[in-house]
Amino acid sequence: MKHLNNFKLPVVFALLISSLAMLFNFTIVSAATDADLSTADQDTISKAPTGLLMSNYFTINNPTNNAADTSFRFKSNSAFISNNNKVLVLAHGTSTNSADNTAAGPGWPVPVYPAIKDKTGSYGAAWSNMNTAYFSAGKPQTLSAWMSFGSGNSDETVNGQGMALVLQNNTDGSTEMGAGQEGLGVYGYDKSTNKGITGSLATPDAVAKTAIQNSIALEFDTQKQDSGSAVYPPIMYSIDALYSYYSTNNFDTKRASVVAPSEFPDNTELGSGGRYGHIALTYPAYSGTYYPLSVGNTSFYSPFTQGYTMFHIHRQQDADLADGTDSNGNDVAWHHLTFRWMPSADLKTATISYSYNDREIDGSINNRTNRIDDTITVDMNQLSSTSSSITPDSKIYWGFTGANNNTDSRVASKLVSVESIPDLVNASVDTTITDKTKNKVMYDDPDGGAGDTTDRKVASGDKMELDYKLTYEDGREDWKSIASKITLPKNINYDTTDDTIGTIKYENGDSESIPLSALTTASDGTQTINYTFLKNLGDIAASSKIADIIINGVAVNETTADITVKAQPAIFTGSNNIESTSTPKFTVLYKKDWTMNLTNPMSDPITLIYQQDNATLNLNANLNYTGKTSPEFAANDPIQYQISVGGHDLTYNTTVSADSDTLSDVIPLRTVIENAGLDFWSLFPSNETQKVTVSAIDNDGVTSNTATYNIQVEPNHLLEMTPDKALQFKSINYLSLNDYIPRANDFDVSVTSYQNPWQLEVSASELTNGDSKFNGNLVNKTAQGATVLTNNNVLIASDNISHDTETTTSISKLNNWTTNSGLLLKNYGLSSSKKYSGTLTWTIMDYNDSL
């Protein structure tokens, strides 16, 4: 910009005219339209990302808050909504509304003082409709929008001035506005009065009172201001019979030596800077924001020696505002903003976090260097005149203000396209691509939200699954009429079975198929799905809060080189909320002409003792290549083993320790199983053989053959007893005097044990028939004598040997039962002639000297 070193401010001498009021009659001009915009601006609007219908959520009114100040020249509102109802036009061109001009003083043919025209430039504000788009200051809030400042240019004045996202708490906030030009439609008027040979500044309080009251602003200032002293001349806004009134035009002038007052957050600095702009948070209506600074160059600013600059909180310099580029290096006119508000529990402070340039123009995630993310703690008292005014239910205005300078006809319009309204619908979209062959998940965000380190390499032929997960968090409305536009990643052959391209699975169990007719293919091979959900998402009238779009396919690469597959966007446009995402970038490896071989060097079967203490199951695997140059395995190369056991598919990842032509690995299968949250012994039940299959995949996506491991599960401690079902004795004459009554059948008891010494006890009940009892007892007769079993537990057999193989013992053989020994009936005398019965109770237990 050309600076005039001999610039002088006019000194006006005039008699006071008693009726000055007649000079300041203001009129409201008719609203501007797209036809008033430059061709470049109209083109920018036509290329705007999809936004909500602005007239549903925003109101535009002329300001009334500074109507009584006759020297305040910003009396109109240049903002309007574009013809397509998708863009807020906050400031356009350099035109000044006639209501902002000063009329010439009386007198003919020469007026007492001249008219001041076309100095304020274009400026405007659009505020949220309090019925449909209010901001709940006492609750967490999120909004997102696209902003356009104009294209980059070596003459920074083409970009001036900028925009601000503003929160304000005023009774009729729709008619609030600050000064234009450097005021961006939100800040106060730094009224500087030229009194002829002297100049004076308004007080900081006076400047703050002309700003939007009870407000917090996040400014996006496109004016270049990287000097330590003022570089722009003052602007005369009005004149009367006595004085002329100026802005000294240095809100961004830096002075590193000035320390911010303690009431400001950390990282607050005076002024700003940057190649083509900066981002900063400010307190527009706080008098401490405005700091009178010596302008130094008296010939440039005469008669003013001071001008107001501003304290900027968390100043981000060199922000890509007017000169941004996308990931392909192309100039872009639109920049995405995500803004989040988190109030403290006591509502004294709030945490503002924002992400600027976090989306590419197509909606995909941007993680390049031109992205800005910041978190700032702010004083919530700035939103109210009293510290108790903000409550959990406080509804305040939010909106955008903007301003252009008046120095260059090429100045671009300041434009906003809003895609989400605070608290109306709070929703998110997360995207993953899963390599089903390798059981590897790749996230839409390279950090994965939790330190994602996935290598993002897949082999040609791997099964792939795309998952777009839409989640409705909360809001005043359900997310309605969701139209999806999904650009599919290339180098995947998608499954179109049954003439479908995908499935939507809802949280409540419902599902719907996406028909193949929703898929279109462009001339360059790009495939796009356009499909509108049959259901809304939410918890008001909708039945589900979550929907997963599942699309399956197979990775393909028929070339001789690896192919990097670009991230592809997906946009989900509802009538009341818009969300976007993108697939992760990944690489499809080229097909290799060598093979990998896996062998099982272990004996078959592999013995596993059931529930043995500290039992492990380590599988040895040997790998080698056929047709690959040496070294076949390079140090630090990853190897993934794919394991199938009991209907579960598991993976084990390891790395090559050193260069070698063969590789021997140990797979800690029990650890792998338990790390997957599975019960190890339920997969390996006692006395069964379980089959485990293993294959390996290397860093190039080469998959080996499948090797089988048979796991024979041996019992750990086995102890079982099987008695015959019935013991019968011979019939006798009731007058019989025989001492012992022999058995009538070959009764036996068998005990089976494995690594478990044992002892066996038996007892018997009395033999009865109704009320009659047999006059005798059941006994165990040996060479040492007879032991009564009736109502008496008796040790009848034992084995103190821990057998290494499963061993079955016959008690009748062990004890050498004969017709005159073993279980017999001892007869004590006469008994009624009846059939008597009773119960034998056998108890098997560990040997008392055993484990």
Based on the fold, state whether residues 573 and 670 are members of the same structural domain. no
User: Is residue 12 over pLDDT 60?
Assistant: no
Q: Which residue has the higher pLDDT, 283 or 628?
A: 283
**pLDDT band with cut points at 50, 70 and 90 for residue 29:** very low
Mean pLDDT confidence for 139-148? 95
pTM attached to this predicted model: 0.73
Domain final residue, candidates 420, 437, 458: 420
How far is it, in rounded angstroms, from Cα 582 to Cα 672? Answer: 32
Give the pLDDT score at 552. Answer: 98
DSSP codes of every residue in 38-70? -HHHHHHHHTPPP---GGGTEE-----TTTT-T
**Contact between residue 70 and residue 243 where contact means Cβ atoms under 8 Å apart:** no
Domain final residue, candidates 714, 730, 751: 714
- Residue 377: CB atoms within 10 A of its CB come to 14
Structure-derived torsion over alpha carbons of residues 16, 21, 23, 25, reported in degrees to the nearest 10: 170
Closest listed residue to residue 376, CA positions, set 347, 355, 358: 355
Mean pLDDT confidence for 254-271? 91
- Give φ, ψ of 100 to 5 degrees: -95, 0
Question: Which of helix, strand or coil describes residue 669?
Answer: helix
Position 172 in a domain:
yes
User: Is residue 830 over pLDDT 50?
Assistant: yes
How far is it, in rounded angstroms, from Cα 72 to Cα 74? Answer: 6
Give the pLDDT score at 242. Answer: 86
Based on the fold, state whether residues 553 and 644 are members of the same structural domain. no
**H/E run at residue 813:** helix 811-814
Position 98 in a domain:
no
DSSP H stretches of helix in 246-356: 298-301
Based on the fold, state whether residues 708 and 722 are members of the same structural domain. no
How far is it, in rounded angstroms, from Cα 315 to Cα 68? Answer: 34
**Contact between residue 277 and residue 159 where contact means Cβ atoms under 8 Å apart:** yes
Total residues found in the chain within this entry: 851
**Contact between residue 554 and residue 433 where contact means Cβ atoms under 8 Å apart:** no
Compute CA 268 distance to the chain's CA centroid, rounded to the nearest angstrom. 30
**H/E run at residue 655:** strand 648-655
Based on the fold, state whether residues 266 and 151 are members of the same structural domain. yes
Based on the fold, state whether residues 406 and 490 are members of the same structural domain. no
Furthest CA-CA distance within the chain: 161
How far is it, in rounded angstroms, from Cα 270 to Cα 258? Answer: 7
Lowest average pLDDT, out of 5-19, 196-210, 337-351, 580-594, goes to 5-19
Compute CA 540 distance to the chain's CA centroid, rounded to the nearest angstrom. 23
Tokens of 489: 């990643």
Question: Which of helix, strand or coil describes residue 279?
Answer: strand
CATH number at residue 678: 2.60.40.1930
User: What tens digit of pLDDT does each residue of 741-774 get?
Assistant: 999 999 999 999 988 899 999 999 999 999 999 9
Give the pLDDT score at 650. Answer: 93
Based on the fold, state whether residues 728 and 771 are members of the same structural domain. yes
Average pLDDT, the chain: 88
User: Is residue 473 over pLDDT 70?
Assistant: yes
CATH number at residue 175: 2.60.120.200
**Contact between residue 791 and residue 763 where contact means Cβ atoms under 8 Å apart:** yes
Q: Which residue has the higher pLDDT, 601 or 107?
A: 601
**Contact between residue 433 and residue 636 where contact means Cβ atoms under 8 Å apart:** no
Position 275 in a domain:
yes
Mean pLDDT confidence for 528-548? 97
Position 52 in a domain:
yes
**pLDDT band with cut points at 50, 70 and 90 for residue 533:** very high
Scan for tokens 């068998």, then name that residue: 750
**Contact between residue 100 and residue 121 where contact means Cβ atoms under 8 Å apart:** no
How far is it, in rounded angstroms, from Cα 358 to Cα 320? Answer: 12
User: Is residue 283 over pLDDT 60?
Assistant: yes
**pLDDT band with cut points at 50, 70 and 90 for residue 19:** very low
How far is it, in rounded angstroms, from Cα 780 to Cα 825? Answer: 9
Give the pLDDT score at 664. Answer: 95
Mean pLDDT confidence for 380-392? 79
How far is it, in rounded angstroms, from Cα 292 to Cα 251? Answer: 10
% residues pLDDT > 70 (the chain): 90
Structural domains counted in the chain? 4
Give the pLDDT score at 327. Answer: 64
**Contact between residue 799 and residue 809 where contact means Cβ atoms under 8 Å apart:** yes
Compute CA 87 distance to the chain's CA centroid, rounded to the nearest angstrom. 28
Based on the fold, state whether residues 655 and 523 are members of the same structural domain. no
How far is it, in rounded angstroms, from Cα 179 to Cα 183? Answer: 5
Which of 8-12, 231-235, 469-473, 769-773 reaches the highest mean pLDDT? 469-473
Give the pLDDT score at 727. Answer: 94
CATH number at residue 563: 2.60.40.740
**pLDDT band with cut points at 50, 70 and 90 for residue 93:** confident
How far is it, in rounded angstroms, from Cα 315 to Cα 667? Answer: 54
Lowest average pLDDT, out of 31-45, 619-633, 671-685, goes to 31-45
% residues pLDDT > 90 (the chain): 65
Closest listed residue to residue 418, CA positions, set 405, 404, 399: 399
- Residue 641: CB atoms within 10 A of its CB come to 22
How far is it, in rounded angstroms, from Cα 775 to Cα 766? Answer: 9
Give the pLDDT score at 210. Answer: 96
Amino acid identity of residue 587, one-letter, is: T
321: containing domain: 21-93+109-420
**pLDDT band with cut points at 50, 70 and 90 for residue 6:** very low
Based on the fold, state whether residues 452 and 476 are members of the same structural domain. yes
User: What tens digit of pLDDT does each residue of 564-622 get?
Assistant: 999 999 999 999 999 999 999 999 999 888 999 999 999 999 999 888 888 899 999 99
Question: Which of helix, strand or coil describes residue 502?
Answer: strand
User: Is residue 151 over pLDDT 80?
Assistant: no
Question: Which of helix, strand or coil describes residue 754?
Answer: strand
Based on the fold, state whether residues 113 and 200 are members of the same structural domain. yes
Based on the fold, state whether residues 409 and 431 are members of the same structural domain. no
Give the pLDDT score at 665. Answer: 95
**pLDDT band with cut points at 50, 70 and 90 for residue 536:** very high
**pLDDT band with cut points at 50, 70 and 90 for residue 159:** confident
Laid out side by side, the sheet with 648-655 consists of: 606-609, 707-714, 689-697, 638-645, 648-655
Give the pLDDT score at 17. Answer: 28
Closest listed residue to residue 92, CA positions, set 124, 117, 115: 124
Amino acid identity of residue 517, one-letter, is: S
**Contact between residue 360 and residue 297 where contact means Cβ atoms under 8 Å apart:** no
User: Is residue 324 over pLDDT 70?
Assistant: no
Amino acid identity of residue 388, one-letter, is: S
How far is it, in rounded angstroms, from Cα 219 to Cα 225? Answer: 14
Distances (CA, A) of 827 to 37, 42, 729, 736, 773: 123, 119, 12, 9, 12
Based on the fold, state whether residues 149 and 28 are members of the same structural domain. yes
- Residue 11: CB atoms within 10 A of its CB come to 12
Q: Kindly tell me the sign of the dihedral angle through the C-alpha atoms of 375, 379, 385, 391.
A: positive
Give the pLDDT score at 113. Answer: 86
Amino acid identity of residue 593, one-letter, is: D
Position 754 in a domain:
yes
User: What tens digit of pLDDT does each residue of 325-346 get?
Assistant: 666 666 678 999 999 999 999 9
User: What tens digit of pLDDT does each residue of 540-565 get?
Assistant: 999 999 999 999 999 999 998 999 99
**H/E run at residue 814:** helix 811-814
Question: Which of helix, strand or coil describes residue 99?
Answer: helix
Position 603 in a domain:
yes
How far is it, in rounded angstroms, from Cα 320 to Cα 278? Answer: 8
Give the pLDDT score at 245. Answer: 92
Give the pLDDT score at 550. Answer: 98
How far is it, in rounded angstroms, from Cα 500 to Cα 570? Answer: 18
User: Is residue 397 over pLDDT 80?
Assistant: yes
Position 746 in a domain:
yes
**H/E run at residue 611:** none
Lowest average pLDDT, out of 87-91, 145-149, 253-257, 792-796, goes to 253-257
Question: Which of helix, strand or coil describes residue 22?
Answer: helix
How far is it, in rounded angstroms, from Cα 283 to Cα 217? Answer: 6
How far is it, in rounded angstroms, from Cα 673 to Cα 670? Answer: 5
Give the pLDDT score at 25. Answer: 31
Lowest average pLDDT, out of 100-114, 562-576, 796-810, goes to 100-114
Q: What is the DSSP letter of 681?
A: H
Based on the fold, state whether residues 553 and 629 are members of the same structural domain. no
Position 8 in a domain:
no
Domain final residue, candidates 573, 589, 605: 589
Mean pLDDT confidence for 369-383? 92
